[in-house]
Chains A and B, each alone.
Chain A
Amino acid sequence: DVQLLESGGGLVQPGGSLRLSCLASGFTFSNSVMGWVRQAPGKRLEWVSVISADGRTAFYADYVKGRFTFSRDNSVDTLYLQMNSLRAEDTAVYYCVKELAGSGWAFDSWGQGTLVTVST
């Protein structure tokens, strides 16, 4: 079974940094496009970033571009989301997601989510 296990969430002050990790198992990680999707409390889903299978190309939503960096280590089946200059509006549950191959970023597997709270 596909498993995506996020970690690294927590409380951070505005302007601070946090690094999320996602450990993947149950599928060929190095062949899969992966991403992060977030959801603020009571709000709609919102994409954050998507990375190619080989890790060479990452795409970012405008509201995180220049502040977040998405990377992956295919040798340990792990994703990383480095989040800098955090703002209150970044408060959300962050989900690690796997793309259904060739589907145009339809995500067929989701982690349980990790909560990031940006507050004083």
Chain B
Amino acid sequence: EIVLTQSPGTLSLSPGDRAALSCRASQSLSNNYLTWYQQKAGQAPRLLIYGASSRASGIPDRFSGSGSGTDFTLTISRLEPEDVAVYYCQHLGTGLTFGGGTRVEIK
């Protein structure tokens, strides 16, 4: 089963900064079923990106996804205070796996 490793564990940035969150797969993905979620404290996750790079409905365009093979990135182009959350990647292969998450904080 593919393992997804997210880094860094915590990202502390200032408002307006660019944030790059990494999701690395233990082997090359045979499909592009790579998904990103945002989970704010005490809330259910929210879908941000599916198919590695397609933005979900209602998601601001400062969120973008990229990557292929084993390396995927979620980029927040201009960080806003409301982006404080934990971000998870997910992949559908033989089963469904989630990464361990990256916590984004505001300095």
Contact = CB atoms under 8 A, between A and B. Distances in A.
Contact of A44 (B46, B57, B99): B99
Interface string B46-73: 1100110000110000000000000000
Contacts, number: 61
A88 interface: no
B50 A45 contact: no
Interface SS of A by simple majority: loop
A95 B99 CA distance: 17
22 contacts: A44-B99, A44-B100, A45-B39, A45-B45, A47-B98, A61-B96, A95-B45, A100-B47, A100-B50, A103-B35, A103-B50, A104-B31, A104-B33, A104-B51, A106-B33, A106-B47, A106-B50, A107-B35, A107-B45, A108-B57, A110-B45, A112-B44
Interface of B: 31-33, 35, 37, 39, 44-47, 50-51, 56-57, 88, 90, 92, 95-101
